[in-house]
Amino acid sequence: MHALPEQTPALIRLSDYRAPAWRVETVELDFDLGIDASELSARLLLRRDPAQNAPLRLDGENLQLLSITLDGQQLPATAYRYLGNVLEVDGAHDGSVLETRVRLRPAANTALEGLYLSGSREAGFLLTQCEAEGFRHITFFTDRPDVQSRYTVTLRADRTRFPVLLAGGNPDGAGELEGGRHWARFVDPHPKPSYLFALVAGRLEKIERDYVTADGRAVQLKIWAEADAIDRCDYAMDALERSMRWDEQAYGRNYDLDVFHVVATHDFNMGAMENKGLNIFNAKCLLADPDSTTDDEYRHVEAVVAHEYFHNWSGNRVTCRDWFQLSLKEGLTVFREQSFSADMNSAPLKRIEDVALLRRAQFPEDAGPLAHPVRPAQYSEINNFYTATVYEKGSELVRMLAGALGQDGFRRGMDRYFERNDGRAATLEDFLAALGDANDTDLMPYLAWYGQAGTPRLSARGHYDAARHEYTLTLTQHMTGMAGTESRPPLPIPVKLALFTRHGDMLPLHLDGQMSKNVNELVVVLAGAEQHFVFTNVVTAPVPSLLRGFSAPVILECDYTPDELALLLAHDVDGFNRWEAGQQLATRAYENLRDGSSTEALHAWREALALLFNNSAIDDALLADLLTPPGEIELAERETAIDPQRIHDLRQRLQQRLAERLGAAALRQRYQALAAYTSIALDAPSQARRRLKRRVLELLNLLDSQGACELATAQYRNAPGMTDRLAALTVLVRSGASQAAAALHEYRERYADNALALDKWFAVQAQLPGEPALERVLLLGRDAAFTLKNPNRVQALLGAFVRGNPSGFHRIDGAGYRLLAERLVTLDTLNPQVAARLATAFNGWQRLEPLRREAARAAIVELARHDGLSRNLTEILGSVLNH
């Protein structure tokens, strides 16, 4: 136990939830906007809960109160108190009208929460970010998601400086004012929580499109960006239209306002925000063009556009009762977004991508001191809970429910959920009840998944009785590594499975005790600690394919032989499980090299992939993924004393052994065949070829670095788009090629005025493997284009270094840890949210080997001793140190 100074913030507990004593029926906001100072008059119609005898208390932070009236009467100073970020007002009653006027300082707001300036004073624009608790930085309010109000917003500003005025809701008038000023009014007919409020004001250009919903509503779609970026918004507009049509068809959900605005900004703490009728996007999640956007980024733009639009129902029309229910909107919407992306692209590849992210980001989170349930029982700072657990694991729990109910059953359940809760602030219990009631089943046992941290382990053992032609599959669940897990009740774990012959053919499944349905794939649910499933009429000893499609977020432990994994890798028709067999086999091969033990798994892995490499029928993108072993972060999860440099070196050896088996000549021949295609099209075959070309070049570089770097130099020079250009640059930089400096210089000159492309320039260098990375990061930190005030630039350099470069960050001398700690002190004064997220890189330091562990501990302790750290950073450091 490593105690922190006495500054740990107070805890907010789920068990303490009480309905609000005061609600706000209507909100009228009147802004006079300016860069240095903006003033806001707010008029709140108050409603009091007659069952509660509590004074009127409103949240408000960093507000300069100019005036306050209650029911038309100016209040004396003795009638209200503004202390500790709470305004308490005497004399209010049900139906009272409270009016306040406050002054805000947008240009001085570097935390990017509330009302702030994006860009320069001369050319930037004003915007807001209110989730989770940013509205209290704008005006006094009961700033909690279960207070839903109807908003009328009037904006006034200088027309030359702020020609575009936007707020959520439908437009309700605009006009001119004296002195070159103008105004615009917006009315949102739908009650919404304060975290969904938004405004934008400044010099922006737009593209627009007319859209008619399935229920006949005419909607204007408008995407806004600064003049130098508006020509990169067309792909996002197409993605928005696809998202709207898909939601109508898949969920029966139609848009419900007359206009839908989307705005791009380079200064944003998150990816995007689903404000009702006025989505605000981090530019990296909206802007796209072939010259500066990779294939992966195109798909990401499409996914984020869909995610924010889908929130219109799963988050806005039905919101969460309190922030403990955050996954009710985020986990559900991630699942909807993933389903959309699977339909728009390749379902198997999308599933591989999602599970790889889960294992890379969420599994380590669940295994370290920052582990928390999908629905936490308590928190100090809610912004610290926008995590992979809430989002990605939350999505996996929804996927489990959808799998258990089937496609039609899940749709019925979602219809019931939206019907029951439209306009309400709901809970996870409401969600499970609606899905269960619509299908006459009890889903409440799944609630246990939401209440416990950690990743369950699923053990599988098979026994074949040749005489009886029976195969018995025994499934056992347990939790390890978490205190108190021994007493937890078992979870319902749905396991989708199939059985294969030793020749790779699927067997028909006859589960004892169930009617034969002539199927070769089914789902069984492990409801207890251990269960036996007996399959009859099994004509030969089978090889089980388990957790098909990753049917539950667990760690599977099964005593497959290398040959059985190789069989599944070669023959499984489930694209995800084919990849999963390859990942398991590659992990075994890695362990062969690490332990100096038998090379059986290494041999099986190399031979299986050699056959697939020469199989022209396999999809190029899937082959690229199959040729890629688990990453260094995933491999580290299997170690007890983590040495990131050793893991990096062993993984490089593993890939080199694969490259040797494939052969330099075969790799070069495949590369040249793929390089013959120069299209920048975004169709699936074109993207797949570029994906495989990058992987082949990486493998070739392990055998013939000089030859591969010559190919990479030519590829960089002739690249028709960013995907090929960045792939080539990455190979040159990470291999330390002599051509890297010239390519980096050319890239910097080419994209000097393109912030998103320049972020990639920082990131590719920050991920230079091993000890040289630190010196490069220090050098880049002094670059004129680097600033701690921009979250994207911080993540591109420091984030890529501490989260995407284990061998570089985890130097044995601790210099990487000290660098992060030093930067966090400064960053925390500017933007506590970004600082806290970056500090999560310290998660899991206890599992490092002793020298690194002590160096990390010393850096964290020294950081924690600093006075004046934010609540955000203090909570992260407290969790990291004291668990």
pLDDT at 2 exceeding the cut of 80: no
- pLDDT of 513 reads 81
708-744 tens-digit pLDDT: 999 999 999 999 999 999 999 999 999 999 999 999 9
Cα distance between residue 326 and residue 649, in whole Å: 40
Q: Is 103 helix (H, G, I), strand (E, B) or coil?
A: strand
Gap between the Cα atoms of 623 and 633, Å rounded: 22
Note the pLDDT tens digit of each residue in 173-227: 999 999 999 999 999 999 999 999 999 999 999 999 999 999 999 999 999 999 9
pLDDT value of position 486: 53
| Contacting residues for 418 by C-beta, under 8 A, at least 6 apart | 251, 253, 313, 317, 318
Pick the catalytic residue from 131, 308, 381, 698: 308
Buried b vs exposed e over 826-864: b needs ≥16 C-beta within 10 Å?
A: ebbebbbbbbbbbbbbbbbbebbbeebbebbbebbeebb
Tens of pLDDT, residues 808-859: 999 999 999 999 999 999 999 999 999 999 999 999 999 999 999 999 999 9
Only one residue has tokens 């006079």, namely 32
Contact 184, 29 (CB under 8 A): no
Does position 516 have pLDDT exceeding 80, yes or no?
Answer: no
Question: Cβ(81)–Cβ(55) under 8 Å?
Answer: no
Tell me the pLDDT band of 601, cut-offs 50, 70 and 90: very high
- In this prediction, residue 9 has a pLDDT band, given cuts at 50, 70 and 90, of low
How much of the chain, in percent, has pLDDT values that exceed 90? 96
pLDDT range class, residue 517, cuts 50, 70, 90: confident
Q: Strand, coil or helix: what is 279?
A: strand
Q: What is the pLDDT of residue 709?
A: 98
| pLDDT recorded at residue 379 | 96
CA distance readout (Å), 337 to 53, 203, 250, 300, 391: 43, 31, 12, 11, 11
Q: Is the model's pTM score more than 0.95?
A: yes
**For every residue of 135-164, which 3-state class applies, written as one string?**
HHHCCCECCCCCCEEEEEEEEEEECCCCCE
Provide the residue count of the chain.
Answer: 883
* Contacts of 510 by beta carbon, 8 Å cutoff, 6+ apart: 516, 535, 536, 537, 538
Give the per-residue pLDDT at 487: 67
Q: Which long-range contacts (CB under 8 A, 24 or more apart) does 700-704 make?
A: 700/659, 700/664, 700/667, 700/668, 700/671, 701/731, 701/735, 702/652, 702/655, 702/656, 702/659, 703/656, 703/659, 703/660, 703/664, 703/667, 704/664, 704/668
Could you report the per-residue pLDDT of 308-352, keeping only the tens digit for each? 999 999 999 999 999 999 999 999 999 999 999 999 999 999 999
DSSP 3-state of 190: strand
Cβ(629)–Cβ(695) below 8 Å = no
Label residue 872 by pLDDT band (50, 70, 90). very high
- What is the pLDDT averaged over residues 390-394? 98
pLDDT given at position 6: 38
Kindly list the strands in the beta sheet with 86-89, ordered across the sheet, starting from the edge strand earlier in the chain: 56-59, 86-89, 80-83
Query: For residue 524, which of 475, 455, 459, 575 has the smallest C-alpha distance?
Result: 475
Indicate whether 5 pLDDT > 70: no
The DSSP H or E segment spanning 73 is strand 73-74
The structure tokens listed for 856 are 């990390």
Burial class (CB in 10 A: 0-12, 13-18, 19+), 175: exposed
**What pLDDT score was predicted for residue 611?**
97
| pLDDT value for 89 | 98
Has 308 been annotated as catalytic?
yes
Query: Residue 253 in 3-state DSSP?
Result: coil
Q: What is the pairing mode between strands 97-104 and 38-48?
A: antiparallel
Question: Mean pLDDT over all residues of the chain?
Answer: 96
The least confident of 105-119, 127-141, 451-465, 483-497 is: 483-497
Q: Does residue 483 surpass a pLDDT of 70? A: no
Residues 52-73: what's their mean pLDDT?
98
